[in-house]
Structure 1
Amino acid sequence: MKDISVNFRHLYYFWVVAKEGGITRAATRMGLAIQTVSSQLGLLEQSLGKSLFSQQGRRLVLTEAGRTALSYADQIFLLGEQLQEAVGDADTARIRLTVGISDSLPKLAAFRLLEATMHLPTQVRLVCNEGPFDGLLADLALHKLDLVLTDRPVRSGTTLRVFSHLLLESDTIVVGSEALAKAHAPGFPRSLDRAPFLLPTRSNVLRGKIDEWFEKQEVRPDVVGEFDDNALLATFGRRGAGLFFASAIVAGDMKEQFGATVVGPVPEVRDQFYAISNERKIAHPAVEAIMAAAHRSEPEPR
Structure 2
Amino acid sequence: MSRLNYHHLYYFWHVAKSGNLTQSAQELHTSQSALSSQIKQLEHAMDVTLFERRGRKLILSQAGQQALILAQDIFSKGEELESLLKGDLQSAVQPLRIGVMSIMSRNFIEAFISPLLQRQDVQFTLVSKGITNLLHDLSNHQLDVVLSNVNVAVDAGNLWQVQLLGRQPLSIVGPPTLKPQRDFPAGYQDFRWVVPGKQSEIRASFDAFCSHFQFEPNIHAQVDDMAMLRLLARDSGSLAVLPKVVVKDELAAGVLIEYLSLPKAFEHFYAITVKRSIRPPLLDELLSKSIFR
* TM-score for both structures, normalised by structure 2: 0.68
1:108 partner amino acid? N
The within-5 A match list for 1:131-170 is 131-132=130-131, 146-151=144-149, 165-170=163-168
> Which of the numbers 255, 258, 262 marks the counterpart of 1:261?
255
CA distance in 1, matches of 2:106, 2:261: 21
Unmatched segments (≥5 aa) in structure 2: none
User: Residues 204 and 37 of structure 1: is their aligned pair in 2 closer, same or farther, counting only changes over 3 Å?
Assistant: closer
> SS at 2:222's partner residue?
strand
CA RMSD of aligned residues (A): 4.5
2:44 to 43, 46, 67: 46
- The aligned residue for residue 64 of structure 1 is 62
In structure 2, the partner of 1:88 is: 86
Distance of 1:165 and 1:30 partners within structure 2: 34
Query: Is the aligned partner of 1:7 residue 2:5?
Result: yes
SS of corresponding position for 1:149: strand
Structure 2 contact 49–64 (Cα < 8 Å) conserved: yes
Question: Contact (CA 8 Å) 2:94, 2:123: kept in 1 or not?
Answer: yes
> Does structure 1 conserve the Cα–Cα contact (< 8 Å) formed by 2:80 and 2:141?
no
Aligned equivalent of 1:225: 221
Contact 1:100 1:130 in 2 (8 A): yes
- 1:89 shift after superposition: 2.2
Aligned-partner SS, 2:290 = helix
Distance change (3 Å), C-alpha of 1:87 and 1:170: same
Q: Which whole-Å CA distance do the structure 2 matches of 1:163 and 1:21 have between them?
A: 27
Contact 2:230 2:247 in 1 (8 A): no
Change (3 A) 1:272 1:43: closer
1:262 CA displacement = 0.8
Please point out which of 239, 243, 246 is paired with 2:242: 246
- CA distance in 1: counterparts of 2:285 and 2:107, whole angstroms: 18
Counterpart AA for 1:194: D
- CA, structure 1 residues 193+38, in 2 after alignment: closer, same or farther (shift >3 Å)? closer
Count of residue pairs the alignment pairs up: 284
CA distance in 1, matches of 2:8, 2:215: 64
Q: In 1, Cα distance between the equivalents of 2:71 and 2:224? A: 33
Summarize deviations over 1:11-35 as a string: whole Å, max 9, x none.
Answer: 233344443723x665565454555
Tell me the SS of whatever aligns to 1:294. coil
**What TM-score do you get using the length of structure 1 for normalisation?**
0.67
Unaligned 5+ residue runs, structure 1?
none
* Counterparts of 1:249 and 1:188, CA distance in 2: 26
Q: Secondary structure at the match of 1:112?
A: helix
Give the Å deviation of 1:276. 4.6
- Measure the CA separation in 1 of the matches of 2:287 and 2:238: 34
Deviation at 1:77, TM superposition (A): 4.2
Counterpart Cα distance in 1 of 2:279 and 2:25: 41
Percent of paired sites with the same residue: 24
Indicate yes or no: 2:106 matched with 1:107: yes
The match for 1:196 is 192
Distance of aligned partners of 1:62 and 1:241 in 2 relative to their CA distance in 1, 3 Å threshold: farther
